[in-house]
Amino acid sequence: MFYSKEELTERFKERFGQMEKRDNAAAYSSMASIVQEFVEERRNMTHALYKESNEKQLYYISLEFLLGRMLRSNLSNLGAYEVASDVLRDAGFSLEEIEEQEVDPGLGNGGLGRLAACFMDSLASLGLPGHGYAIRYRGGLFTQHIEDGFQKESPVHWITKHDQWDVRHEELAVEVPFYGKLIKHEDGAVEHEDAIWVKAVPYDMPIVGGNSGPVNTLRLWQAEPCGRPLPVGVDKGQYEAATAEISDRLYPDDSYDEGKLLRLKQQYFLCSASLQAIFNEGGFPVKELPEHVAIQINDTHPAMAIPELMRILMDGHGLTWDAAWAITTRTISYTNHTILEEAMEKWDQWLLKELVPRIYDIIEEIDRRFKATLPGGLNEKERHKLAVLDEKQVKMAVLAVVGSYKVNGVASLHTEILKKREMKELYAIFPEKFHNKTNGITHRRWLIQANPELTELITESIGDQWKREPERLAELAHYGADTALLRDFQAVKRLKKNQLIQAVKAAGDNAIDPDSIFDIQIKRFHGYKRQLMNILHVRMLHDRIRNDATFRPHPRTFFFGGKAAPSYHFAKQVIKMIHAVAQQVNSDPVARKYLHVVFIEDYNVSHAEKLIPAAEVSEQISTASKEASGTGNMKFMMNGALTLGTVDGANVEIFEAIGEDNAFVFGLSAEQVMRFEAEGDYRPAEVLEEDAQIRQLIAELEAGELSDGAANAELVIRQLGAEEDPFFVLRDLNSYALAHERMVEAYGDQLAWQGMAWTNVAHSGIFSSDRTIQQYSDDVWDLGRFRLKV
């Protein structure tokens, strides 16, 4: 139990000192430090409990954890949100206001990092011993500013304001070797000489779940110089600067590999430090590692955990290759997050050889032994697909599959595409490794915390057991025809819309009509996510309003939000185009009664928590086959937005759960897209010939009307034209427009609409990450449940 109101008041007064000062920042840090100390104590108790029990532990290694703010989440999971709110109110503060003091720790780019954070929440909530390992980037992901419609990036240093939640543990530091050369002895022993060592210092952050479970640990590693003598010829100043760089910033790119040395250093730093720490925890004979430890690698970024574990077992514990390999391939499992060719991680061999010579050496041996086991009769292409080392590169995805005991895709469509196409050759060799675990989201952050009003309404209908067992949201289906209830549901949506309007007003936009349909697309900017199609469609609507005096549709507000990788020029042009179209639409005296375009700057978790509960239409419009799962789609449905989307990623499973008549489905199927790609016979010019409206749109684009001058859109024009529209934007545009028409028509019958939205909420329970994590635990990790007795 958390403190009583009296105790908390006492503690708050002690910390805060002069209660008359109206200082939100001081109030935030007073309250946050009280909560932090409370949960830190529970974390220590949990750690002791785990040690004593000697039960299996899971370590989830990820280059990204997109946590979002912690104060609300921790208080709410402790069941202490009300009491903290009361204490603050009595002291003259509002908890909602002081929360705004907390800087989002931007330790992730998008979905992949947010998934890791949701998993941490679910592990703790289910009472499972699972911990995260990541890097304590001093600057998280950049802050996005919009200047004259263009994205500008600036660094953000979250740590200064945020250091309340993690605690430095100098005594648990380890050292990671880079560079140097290998000396191989006749007996097989390997020495690593002249290495440059970097110290990894852990900062441990308590992870509090709901349901008063154990408090797990998210360990963030910080790189620092260590005391060892430097090899001759290495400059101390340069060494210190290069070391600090390792935990300086997050790569602002989750599907474009910039091929930077620094990124590789980060990966090895994380893998090596984490594995050493796992061994330091110890408590079991090395040979029993797989019975005591499960390691999940989140995408291929931490795939060097495989050769690093081999290194520790052989060089550190004297195991033979075969013994070490048997252990490694029973300990590590791998999640694949993408099939986009450009996002499949590859590194130049020379780079690994130079930076991590022993790791490269081990990868070479993994590759050699694997190739020796391959069946005869493979063709050239199959051999490439099965090579870890190929054409002077190291292919991390092949390494990850070969070196782990389980490989999962993140939605059933995605897993099938992996098995049938992308990893067909590997699947043929290791069919037993491949399985699906559809992603999920924590319903605690995304419903209970972000939407307390809807939470209350749900609880009034079905009691509160669903908070522990989210699949019981299905009981809501019994009330789908209760008109009074649907009116209350509608009122909650209206309230969340108004709250969003207030938040956006504070950012300077006064023109949002609460009666308009809130249509939202928030996610990283990427070609395949097709924000371009969305904004082209807005422009089509604008054209129609201008050219046809009888076309006066129900008012709509289109929200966009998301960052583009700084080097991804195409995506940045799309952001510019959204601003250009927004400017035209929002200032057109006629059109602005029907259309309004809003761009939310610097989209992050805290913005998502305000936007999603207010959404009525969830734009999930990726080119079919390209979005592995998506998790934004799940957050929206859970908050009663209707999906307007393609048959892609987890949308497929959402449509299955709710029935296609409770969504607006459009566009090419994954199979059609893949067939076009295989045959190479899609011609966007044919779309233009057939469709006068799209032809006009492209003409406007080429004339520079959708941007401030043609030059701003040149990459967009090139992609749709000379590059033959690789994401099928033009091909799907008409089908997309028709889906919007169906949506607007459906919106006209509000009672029916609310029924559809209600159905979405009712079937969202299976998309809780509690379900995902339980499946991982049952099928992959084999963990036991714990309760903390306090």
Which of 213, 561 has the CB closer to ligand PLP?
A: 561
Which of 631, 643, 646, 772 does the annotation list as catalytic?
A: 631
State the minimum distance, in angstroms, from the CB of residue 531 to ligand PLP: 11
In three-state secondary structure terms, 440 is coil
Which of 107, 401 has the CB closer to ligand PLP?
A: 107
Active-site residue, 385 included: no
Strand partners, 561: 522, 600
State the minimum distance, in angstroms, from the CB of residue 111 to ligand PLP: 3
- DSSP single-letter state for residue 626: T
User: Cα(138)–Cα(157) distance, rounded to whole angstroms?
Assistant: 6
Active-site residue, 529 included: yes
Is 685 exposed, middle or buried, given 0-12, 13-18 or 19+ CB atoms closer than 10 A?
exposed
User: Cα(655)–Cα(279) distance, rounded to whole angstroms?
Assistant: 44
Which of 43, 496, 497, 529 does the annotation list as catalytic?
A: 529
**Cα distance from N-terminal residue to C-terminal residue, the chain:** 8
Element spanning 395, H or E: strand 393-395
How many separate helices (H) and strands (E) can be counted in the chain? Answer: 33, 23
CA distances from 352 to 185, 563, 662 (A): 22, 31, 51
Compute φ and ψ for 598, nearest 5 degrees: -125, 135
Which of 265, 523 has the CB closer to ligand PLP?
A: 523
Which of 512, 605 has the CB closer to ligand PLP?
A: 605
Which of 138, 523, 539, 731 does the annotation list as catalytic?
A: 523
User: Cα(495)–Cα(332) distance, rounded to whole angstroms?
Assistant: 47
State the minimum distance, in angstroms, from the CB of residue 661 to ligand PLP: 23
Nearest CA to 259 out of 358, 351, 355 is that of 351
Nearest CA to 637 out of 660, 654, 623 is that of 654
Which of 219, 635, 740, 763 does the annotation list as catalytic?
A: 635
Active-site residue, 236 included: no
Active-site residue, 292 included: no
User: Cα(650)–Cα(421) distance, rounded to whole angstroms?
Assistant: 18
CA-only gyration radius of the chain, Å: 27
Active-site residue, 114 included: no
State the minimum distance, in angstroms, from the CB of residue 621 to ligand PLP: 10
State the minimum distance, in angstroms, from the CB of residue 118 to ligand PLP: 8
State the minimum distance, in angstroms, from the CB of residue 721 to ligand PLP: 27
3-state helix, strand, coil in the chain (%, to 5): 55, 15, 30
Is 141 in contact with 108 (CB distance < 8 Å)? yes
What contacts 707, CB < 8 A, 6 or more positions away? 573, 576, 577, 580, 701, 713
State the minimum distance, in angstroms, from the CB of residue 102 to ligand PLP: 15
SS (H, E, C) 515-553: CCEEEEEECCCCHHHCHHHHHHHHHHHHHHHHHCCCCCC
Is 330 in contact with 290 (CB distance < 8 Å)? yes
CA 677 to chain centre: 28
CA dihedral sign, ordered 34, 40, 43, 49: negative
State the minimum distance, in angstroms, from the CB of residue 522 to ligand PLP: 7
State the minimum distance, in angstroms, from the CB of residue 67 to ligand PLP: 10
State the minimum distance, in angstroms, from the CB of residue 53 to ligand PLP: 34
Which of 131, 406, 524, 530 does the annotation list as catalytic?
A: 524
User: Cα(339)–Cα(462) distance, rounded to whole angstroms?
Assistant: 41
Which of 529, 576 has the CB closer to ligand PLP?
A: 529
CA distances from 766 to 75, 407, 439, 769 (A): 25, 21, 10, 8
Element spanning 191, H or E: strand 190-193
- Sites of contact with ligand PLP (CB under 6 A): 110-111, 114, 523, 604-605, 608, 630-632, 635
Nearest CA to 654 out of 438, 380, 431 is that of 438
User: Cα(71)–Cα(28) distance, rounded to whole angstroms?
Assistant: 9
State the minimum distance, in angstroms, from the CB of residue 469 to ligand PLP: 23
User: Cα(716)–Cα(579) distance, rounded to whole angstroms?
Assistant: 15
State both tokens at 98.
Answer: 């002081």
Which of 584, 768 has the CB closer to ligand PLP?
A: 768
User: Cα(39)–Cα(389) distance, rounded to whole angstroms?
Assistant: 46
Which of 16, 158 has the CB closer to ligand PLP?
A: 158
Element spanning 390, H or E: strand 389-390
Is 24 in contact with 98 (CB distance < 8 Å)? yes
Q: How do strand 434-436 and strand 406-409 relate by DSSP bridges?
A: parallel
State the minimum distance, in angstroms, from the CB of residue 218 to ligand PLP: 17
Identity of the residue numbered 44 = N
Which of 523, 579 has the CB closer to ligand PLP?
A: 523
Which of 110, 202 has the CB closer to ligand PLP?
A: 110
Which of 249, 301, 311, 337 does the annotation list as catalytic?
A: 337
Active-site residue, 406 included: no
Residue with nearest beta carbon to ligand PLP: 632
Residue positions annotated with a catalytic role = 337, 523-524, 529, 631, 635
